[in-house]
Structure 1
Amino acid sequence: MVKSHGKKQRAKNKSRRTGAAYASAAAGTLHQHTPLPDMSAVEEISYLPDVFVDTGLAARLVAACRAGCQPCQRTLSKKVLAHEATLLGLASAIYGTMPAGAVASAATKAWAPLAQAATYDGGEAPEALEAFGALTADERSDLLEDALDHWAMGGLLPEGIDQIRSLLGLRVAPSQGPDDPLDAFREAGVKVFTLDDLDLGDVDAYHLAPNYGVMLAKTEADGRDMPMLTLYPETEDAGIEDLEARTDWEHWGLYGVPDLDPRWRLRARIADRSLQALVRVGPDGEDDIELWRAAETVTLPDHWWTLLDRVQHVLVAGPVKDAENPAALQAAGDAGELLAVVARVEFR
């Protein structure tokens, strides 16, 4: 009994010391991720001089991230979250010199400018430390996850940034502040172009958002024929989640008629009897959502154009993965993954 207890205790100690799962440590199957990364960027954070940062734990977590080892990442992340100074060190080493990315969490986007300000202000970090202390457990978890995304990519590590700065001879003055980092490159003679410099004019937002294709169809409403458009994804990010986020269309099970929303317009051109776009018009009269735009002019079949002209409304439903398969529409409706609206037809 004593022997068994001692074995268990040694396994627990080994797990605590190495960050491995208890079962791995007990079975003697412990593995390590090597080489361990250089954590000098964490050790050099000026506003953490008197706080113990477990650089060994931090290094093992980063190594596990680079190796893509999920079990070790989960185990070690819990330990880092429980060790406030180590979490702060890992996050500060990244966001003290880099802005939060577009996909970062709200907590990271709010905290990163404070970390940058602390770096540029000579290491005084009262606001950054106060804001860090106010983070909830979930927000700290998000901050760690965002920081680890950068640590996992070796080319974006702080030591890599320092090397680039050294090669370019860049010295960032405290008065420059974190809001104009491109000025350092300009001062070093590096030509910097922005969208404004290139004078690209208005950027077409349609190609930056998920896009859909359309298939012509016909349905029945109150005993009368009605034109119908079936949407299918044309880009990888298009689908039910996107439509739910960008529209307030109702879930439709192919029974009854969806609600009419006059903000949604199917634009049709009379001159060549073609469809142009499916859009939602905002309060200012401008298009605020464009789900589909014709890539080329296609003249509609006479019977469908005649129906469109007579009804002047269209039932729009989607998304359907295989728009040419009639069973796919029914399957999407049965699965609750079909959204629909009745839109106005806007002839031009």
Structure 2
Amino acid sequence: MVKNHGKKQRANQRAQRTGAPYASAVTRTLHTHEPLPDMTALPLMPHGSWGPLDLDLAARLVAACRAGCVSCQRSLAAKVVAEARSTLAALAGAAYGTLPTPGPVSGPTRLWAQLAREAVRTRSGETAFAAVAAMDAADASELLEDALTLWTAGDLRLIQLAQLAPADPMNALREAGIEVVTLDDLDLGDDVAPYQLAPVYGVMPMRTATPGGPVPMLLLYPETEDAGIEDLESRTDWEHWGLHGTPDMDPAWRLRARIADRSLQRLVRVGPDGEDDVELWRAQESVTMPQDWWDLLDRAQHILVIGPVAEPEAPRALENAADAGELLAVVARVAFV
């Protein structure tokens, strides 16, 4: 009995130390998954207090996921969640710190991804790490599982880590023997466009009174959690507007409208080369505008675009956004097609 107890104790200690399943630790059939990914760039992530990272544990976990070894993945992931929250924050930050939108992920990940982007922007991971440290095991597990989905796809995350490095980061990573992959290299096909990866907005046609008469107005409201004032500030140069006076006109911003069915199609910014360099909104289906509103749009040939307003139909929604300094506006041209 004593001998068996000692064997169990040593197996438990070995399992805790390595993260291997208990059965493997008992039989001493520990195995590794090759190749182990290079994690030397992971400390570049602002993972909070620059706490210690278990790069070996991170590498073995990602390798197990890529190998499809469910037992190792579960045991190693449990170890990360229980004992290595700094490592979890770095892995998740590398996955979501520079993506414009986290994509189809769990609720905890979607909320935390906003903190990850802010951590990369400010180079301070205190808030993001504090959120990871405060998560219960279930939320932390979901965050890790979502991040591992991206890590399992390959070393694309290292491109994002490279964006945090000093000058000429791509060459630095290549010289370190790290494979650098670009989106063009992935051959994702024509079905994947930058717009599909960006925050999503809806639009509400409106009109407003001015000294010169009524003007058509388009109100933007967030449809995904990463859409909002911070996103619009980063992707536009629209001015903060307090509902007084008229915002500046910027002919680079165009609302494309289709004459055939009186529908709005896209809200874009046209670059110096004449190509659309920012697509802020795209119609998912054709909706015919009311005749009187369309006639106003046709006469004006320009439109006041404002946003974001989280709940546009709520009482005083516009006023509250303006009072909070969270309303941006621009006068855009209308391009009929």
Q: Could you tell me which of 84, 93, 104 is aligned with 1:103? A: 93
Q: Amino acid of the residue matched to residue 94 of structure 1?
A: A
Could you list the per-position Cα deviations for residues 244-296 of structure 1 after superposition, in whole angstroms to 9, with x for gaps in the alignment?
11111111110000111111100011111111111111222221221211122
Could you list the per-position Cα deviations for residues 307-342 of structure 1 after superposition, in whole angstroms to 9, with x for gaps in the alignment?
111111100011112222351111111111111110
TM-score if structure 2 supplies the norm length?
0.51
SS in 2 for 1:231: strand
Q: Could you tell me which of 58, 63, 66 is aligned with 1:94? A: 58
Q: Could you tell me which of 238, 258, 270 is aligned with 2:259? A: 270
> Where do 5+ consecutive residues of structure 1 fail to align?
1-33, 42-76, 82-86, 108-137, 158-176, 182-193
Question: Which residue of structure 2 aligns with residue 63 of structure 1?
Answer: none
Question: Which residue of structure 2 aligns with residue 61 of structure 1?
Answer: none
Question: Which residue of structure 2 aligns with residue 205 of structure 1?
Answer: 194
Question: Which residue of structure 1 aligns with residue 165 of structure 2?
Answer: none
SS in 1 for 2:204: strand
What percentage of aligned pairs have identical amino acids? 56
Question: Which residue of structure 1 aligns with residue 300 of structure 2?
Answer: 311
Q: Amino acid of the residue matched to residue 345 of structure 1?
A: V
Question: Which residue of structure 2 aligns with residue 321 of structure 1?
Answer: 310
- Taking the aligned partners of 1:141 and 1:337, their CA distance within structure 2 comes to 25
SS in 2 for 1:291: strand
Distance 1:249 1:35, change over 3 A: farther
Q: Amino acid of the residue matched to residue 277 of structure 2?
A: D
CA drift of 1:96 comes to 8.7
Distance 1:328 1:94, change over 3 A: same
- Taking the aligned partners of 2:296 and 2:318, their CA distance within structure 1 comes to 21
Q: Could you tell me which of 240, 244, 256 is aligned with 2:229? A: 240
- Taking the aligned partners of 1:155 and 1:313, their CA distance within structure 2 comes to 44
Alignment of 1:23-172 (within 5 A): 38-40=16-18, 81=51, 87=52, 90-91=54-55, 93-94=57-58, 103-104=93-94
Distance 1:332 1:96, change over 3 A: same
For this pair of structures, how many residues does the alignment match? 212
Question: Which residue of structure 2 aligns with residue 250 of structure 1?
Answer: 239
- Taking the aligned partners of 2:293 and 2:93, their CA distance within structure 1 comes to 43
CA drift of 1:302 comes to 1.4
- Taking the aligned partners of 1:140 and 1:335, their CA distance within structure 2 comes to 26
Aligned: 1:231 with 2:231: no
Question: Which residue of structure 2 aligns with residue 179 of structure 1?
Answer: 179
TM-score if structure 1 supplies the norm length?
0.50
CA drift of 1:103 comes to 3.2
Query: Does the CA-based 8 Å contact 2:92-2:143 persist in structure 1?
Result: no
CA drift of 1:93 comes to 4.6
- Taking the aligned partners of 1:210 and 1:154, their CA distance within structure 2 comes to 21
- Taking the aligned partners of 2:190 and 2:96, their CA distance within structure 1 comes to 30
- Taking the aligned partners of 2:143 and 2:320, their CA distance within structure 1 comes to 46
Question: Which residue of structure 1 aligns with residue 83 of structure 2?
Answer: none
Higher relative contact order (CA 8 A, sep 6+): 2
Could you list the per-position Cα deviations for residues 14-41 of structure 1 after superposition, in whole angstroms to 9, with x for gaps in the alignment?
xxxxxxxxxxxxxxxxxxxx99973448
- Taking the aligned partners of 2:239 and 2:143, their CA distance within structure 1 comes to 46
Distance 1:36 1:315, change over 3 A: farther
Distance 1:141 1:40, change over 3 A: farther
Between structure 1 and structure 2, the one with the greater Rg is: 1
Aligned: 1:220 with 2:223: no
Question: Which residue of structure 2 aligns with residue 50 of structure 1?
Answer: none
Q: Amino acid of the residue matched to residue 94 of structure 2?
A: A
> Where do 5+ consecutive residues of structure 2 fail to align?
1-11, 20-47, 64-89, 98-122, 146-176
Alignment of 1:336-347 (within 5 A): 336-347=325-336
Cα RMSD (Å): 4.5
Question: Which residue of structure 2 aligns with residue 294 of structure 1?
Answer: 283
Could you list the per-position Cα deviations for residues 47-106 of structure 1 after superposition, in whole angstroms to 9, with x for gaps in the alignment?
xxxxxxxxxxxxxxxxxxxxxxxxxxxxxx97x95xxxxx36x24553598697573299
SS in 2 for 1:322: coil
Distance 1:334 1:156, change over 3 A: closer
- Taking the aligned partners of 1:263 and 1:38, their CA distance within structure 2 comes to 59
Distance 1:153 1:39, change over 3 A: farther
